[in-house]
Amino acid sequence: MATHRSDDRHSVRRRSAMHLGIAALMLSAETSLEAQAPDSQRTRIAVNAFISSAYEYNANRPSNGTSSYRVFDYNDNSLNVDAAEVVVQMAVAKPNDFGFRADVVAGKSVPRISKAQDQTAEQLDLQQLFASYIAPIGSGLRFDAGKYVTHLGYEVIEGYDGYNDNYSRSILFGYAIPFTHTGVKASYAFNSKIAGMVEVVKGWDLWRDNNGAKSIGAQLTLTPASQLSVLLGWVGGPELADDNHTSRNVFDVVAMLKPTSALTLGVNVDYGMEQGTSRVDPGSDAIWKGIAGYATFAVTNKFSVALRGETLHDDGGTRLGTDTRAKLSEVTFTPAYKFTDHVVLRAEVRHDKANQPILTHEATSSDRQTTAGVNFIIVY
């Protein structure tokens, strides 16, 4: 899960998702510089790099060369460098620490899809750029200001410090929630079992606001036991251009359970609504809802398998853009082999099924789609 990536949810989720997954090439190199700070304490600046490359084949052989309703893995029969990322950061860990993080991403697919809506570059994205400070209040009240990855969802955009157990992203990741926010957030750990976050942001995937209103977000992280984490998230506010009144709200639940050292289970539930924007029943609220389940099993310390299944109901016809009451489901199987702690090879087979022919099949359409891919990862 992510530092989508700096918040508590993603820190927890990255620990369970790290070194697991199915098709990706990651190259990571780290250097650090230490300088004497004015307060005689050491600061640490880290520079990391990440690259992801994969090949995927779509059995539908879409004539436009694009797999339907895929987020980053949309190119059929093509070997791509999905993303090459450079991260420069100075992490904060204790009260009175100042820090920052900057993620610059280039590549064939990830920047094009996840970039802010008002950015023009197709293959380059300043994915994150934020400053951090921990105020000496209680256990430490953390502030982050700038652009950062969303706190919603089970899966992450991925980078050098964490990646998903599957190569392809879920339908919920691509169509139920935002990718990034620009604004300010405050995070606080009340104790080892409860943490919270609140934020004020410009909205979904925006550098510059598209209206005069702001959105509010929040997250509650519960860790009742070392094997179980539950994250409750929400973001809401007007998101339409030049409209300060039509509110969009998304409620997000993520739960992770590790019953044994080898098995990790997860679930993600999303419920979204936007006032009066339904394309199925004009004048009514647009509603979308979905659930995704995850299971990853470490067969050995080198070989693992991951299974994901999910369904998204787009009752308003807005999220999938069909103007109809659409349902899209998928199941994904991902074996992964970790040659070393730094080198991983993943493969993936995925089948998508819809309740109507909205998936491209050659030059026509179909209600199903099957893809297979391979992805290589190097991590440092």
- Residue ranges per structural domain of the chain: 8-378
If you average pLDDT over residues 294-300, what whole number do you get?
98
> Which residue bears the tokens 């998936």?
359
Query: Within 10 Å of residue 373's Cβ, how many Cβ atoms?
Result: 22
If you average pLDDT over residues 257-268, what whole number do you get?
97
Residues 6 or more apart in contact with residue 129 via CB below 8 angstroms? 101, 102, 103, 146, 147
DSSP secondary structure letter of residue 59:
T
Instruction: Output the pLDDT for position 377.
Output: 81
Domain 8-378 sits in CATH at 2.40.160.10
The yes-or-no verdict on residue 29 having pLDDT over 80 is: no
Q: How far apart are CA 358 and CA 324, in angstroms?
A: 10
Amino acid at site 363: A
- Contact between 348 and 23 under an 8 Å Cβ cutoff? The reply is yes
Instruction: Output the pLDDT for position 80.
Output: 87
Local confidence band at 50 (pLDDT 50, 70, 90 cut-offs): confident
- Contact between 278 and 317 under an 8 Å Cβ cutoff? The reply is yes
Amino acid at site 375: N
Among the listed residues 251, 208, 175, 180, the one whose alpha carbon sits nearest the alpha carbon of residue 2 = 180
Amino acid at site 335: P
- Predicted TM-score (pTM) of the model is 0.88
- Contact between 359 and 68 under an 8 Å Cβ cutoff? The reply is yes
Q: How far apart are CA 140 and CA 118, in angstroms?
A: 35
Q: How far apart are CA 235 and CA 201, in angstroms?
A: 9
Instruction: Output the pLDDT for position 2.
Output: 37
